Amino acid sequence: MTSLKNQLENQVKAINDFDTRRRHGADGHNDRSLWILACMDERLPVDQALGIHADSPVGGGDAHLFRNAGGIVTDDAIRSAMLTCNFFGTKEIVIVQHTQCGMLSANAAELEQYFRDKGIDPDAIALDPTLPELSLEKGAFAKWIGMMDEVDKACLKTIETFKNHPLIPDDTIISGWIWEVETSRLRAPSLEAGRNSRNIDVSSAQFGVTSPQPARW
């Protein structure tokens, strides 16, 4: 039987190891050697969807979690994935997107026009004032916003982009998943008919968007 002394010693060591993980580089990886890219939407419960402890109030250290609008590829998502996979011991990437996503709710060209109507020129704005070298070509702002036509299509393209990116190690395990907010169900992305059991709409048409998004992929 383990003594209380040994139990407490192991507990203190585990806490110290957790506190100083990043000092150990790749040997200080999170519990699952995992990086998650997920949409920022509050209706996407990452811990519940994946059965891990990364996003709850108490955390748990299972994964590095990165959220953005849509859970799509962006330059900062690539930056974070590059760091965690090459220097922090991550061996797996999981992408989680969801139905009823706000990134389906408007055409990006309309969002660009919103700023123009406010007197802001999207063709002459610093995306990151601390890194002026990061810039968009004229006319690319709407594409940069990253609105979606279909969730499944965007998820599959996001998977493909990470798999083919030179900054992500070739042996990284990469998968993507769709969380159905209507059913609290996780499923694989697919372009096949009948991809979900309840004919849940995953396109921008449900929001009344009639024109395709600016081509991002």
Distance CA 71, CA 48 (A): 17
pLDDT number for residue 100: 97
Distance CA 149, CA 209 (A): 9
Instruction: Indicate if the pLDDT at residue 210 is higher than 80.
Output: yes
Amino acid in the structure at residue 51: G
Distance CA 22, CA 28 (A): 6
Mean pLDDT across the stretch 45-59?
Answer: 91
Distance CA 103, CA 152 (A): 13
Percent of the chain with pLDDT over 70: 98
Mean pLDDT across the stretch 80-85?
Answer: 98
Contact 70, 146 (CB under 8 A): yes
Contact 62, 30 (CB under 8 A): yes
pLDDT number for residue 60: 84
Superfamily covering domain 25-104+148-217: Carbonic anhydrase (3.40.1050.10)
Mean pLDDT across the stretch 194-211?
Answer: 85
SS3 95: strand
pLDDT number for residue 203: 94
Instruction: Indicate if the pLDDT at residue 59 is higher than 80.
Output: no
Give bridge partners of residue 203 from the DSSP assignment: 150
Question: In the chain, where are the structural domains located?
Answer: 25-104+148-217, 108-146
Please report which helix (H) or strand (E) contains residue 67, including its range: strand 64-68
pLDDT per residue as tens digits for the range 122-181: 999 999 999 999 999 999 999 999 999 999 999 999 999 999 999 999 999 999 999 999
Mean pLDDT across the stretch 33-57?
Answer: 96
pLDDT confidence band for 197 (50 / 70 / 90): low
pLDDT number for residue 194: 67
Instruction: Indicate if the pLDDT at residue 79 is higher than 80.
Output: yes
pLDDT number for residue 202: 93
pLDDT number for residue 199: 76
